[in-house]
Structure formats: structure tokens, C-alpha cells
């Protein structure tokens, strides 16, 4: 059985993106990118909502760009090899190594979790809130960057109260802290 993890980079004040027209999270450099490459190597499947999937699709051809850095060229094929489940009612088709789920999402995700060995990444705050309500997320990973945005899109949705217990901490490159929490069930 797989373990579903929701993790995203966020500011010290809890935002995964800043307010429209305002400050945004700074791009991370090669040392932290290498860490995320190792994470992708260990990912058995990924679950995306429409918005996050459309953002991540850039990796389908990223390594073909001659201006891509070596660490980006390494990440692109790692991302492509991971099977993806895209949860959307508005998309009509998805790209290679991805399948679209529009109906009976909970049953599909429960089946994915039961049939997958290893880590299943859940990406996107809105999707993660829905999956969290289903009781399917086993671990929340907060990658906290030393930046304050003052507003924007929060890591946790305000309509999803959770009781969590600390499962681990790790100091990462570029002043980033990883806090890992598990739901109290």
C-alpha cells in the first residue's frame, strides 16, 4: 500500500504563493533542486489537480531547452517517468504517462493507494484539502523557506481543520526547513 504525501514549498507565514501582484516565493537554487530530484526518484505516483498539472507539464520538454541547467535536465526525465493521476472536471485530455479522473475521485484515489507500492505525491493546496477530507493523506511536508509574503494562497485551506503530530524535522539547503507531520487518527 502506498503512502500519500502532500508537500510544498511555503513562506514562513504559511503561503505557497504570494498575493496577486505582490511578492512571491524566491526560486530555489541548485542545492535544493538536487534534494527535490532525489525526492522525485523515490516517487511511485503523483496526483495533481488541473492547475498544478498544467504548471508541471513544462517538464515534458524542459530538458530540450539548451538553457536548462544540469539539475533541471536531471529532473525532467524523473518527472516524466512517474505515473500521474490528474483530477479535473474541466480538462478533456492529459499528456503522456498520465490519466484523467473526473468521476468518483475518492474511489480512484483509494484504489491508487491500495495498488501502489511507495510514495504517492499529492500536489496542490485545493486538491490536498479534498484528499485530506477523504482521510487519505498520510504525511504533510512543509518546506519552509526564509521568506515572509504577508498573504496569498495558504498551504493549508482554512476549511480543513486538522490535528497533526510532528514526525520529523530536517535542515535543508538554502535556509529551508522541512517539517513533517502526520494526521492524528
Instruction: Say how many CA atoms lie within 13 Å of 37 toward its Cβ.
Output: 16
Per residue in 21-67, pLDDT (tens digit) is 889 999 999 999 999 999 999 999 999 999 999 999 999 999 999 99
Label residues 143-159 b or e (16+ Cβ within 10 Å = b): bbbebebeebbbbbbee
Domains in the chain with CATH codes: 3-183 (3.40.430.10)
pLDDT per residue as tens digits for the range 128-172? 999 999 999 999 999 999 999 999 999 998 888 899 999 999 999
- DSSP per-residue letters across 18-75: --TTS--PPPP-HHHHHHHHHHHHTEEEEEEEHHHHHHHGGGGTGGGSTT--HHHHHH
Residues 76-114 pLDDT 10s: 999 999 999 999 999 999 999 999 999 999 999 999 999
DSSP state of 116: -
- What predicted TM-score, i.e. pTM, was given to this entire model? 0.93
Residue 9: the pLDDT is 96
Amino acid at each position: 500500500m502506498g503512502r500519500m504525501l502532500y508537500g510544498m514549498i511555503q513562506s514562513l507565514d504559511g503561503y505557497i504563493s504570494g498575493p496577486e501582484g505582490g511578492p512571491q516565493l524566491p526560486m530555489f537554487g541548485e542545492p535544493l533542486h538536487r534534494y527535490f530530484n532525489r525526492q522525485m526518484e523515490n516517487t511511485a505516483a503523483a496526483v495533481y489537480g488541473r492547475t498544478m498539472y498544467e504548471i508541471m507539464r513544462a517538464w515534458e520538454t524542459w530538458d530540450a531547452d539548451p538553457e536548462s541547467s544540469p539539475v533541471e535536465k536531471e529532473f525532467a526525465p524523473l518527472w516524466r517517468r512517474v505515473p500521474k493521476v490528474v483530477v479535473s472536471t474541466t480538462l478533456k485530455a492529459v499528456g503522456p504517462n498520465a490519466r484523467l479522473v473526473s468521476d468518483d475521485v475518492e474511489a480512484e484515489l483509494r484504489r491508487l493507494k491500495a495498488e501502489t507500492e511507495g510514495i504517492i505525491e499529492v500536489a496542490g493546496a485545493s486538491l490536498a484539502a479534498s484528499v485530506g477530507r477523504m482521510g487519505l493523506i498520510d504525511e504533510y511536508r512543509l518546506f519552509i523557506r526564509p521568506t515572509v509574503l504577508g498573504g496569498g494562497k495558504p498551504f493549508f485551506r482554512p476549511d480543513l481543520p486538522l490535528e497533526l503530530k510532528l514526525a520529523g524535522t530536517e535542515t535543508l539547503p538554502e535556509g529551508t526547513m522541512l517539517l513533517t507531520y502526520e494526521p492524528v487518527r
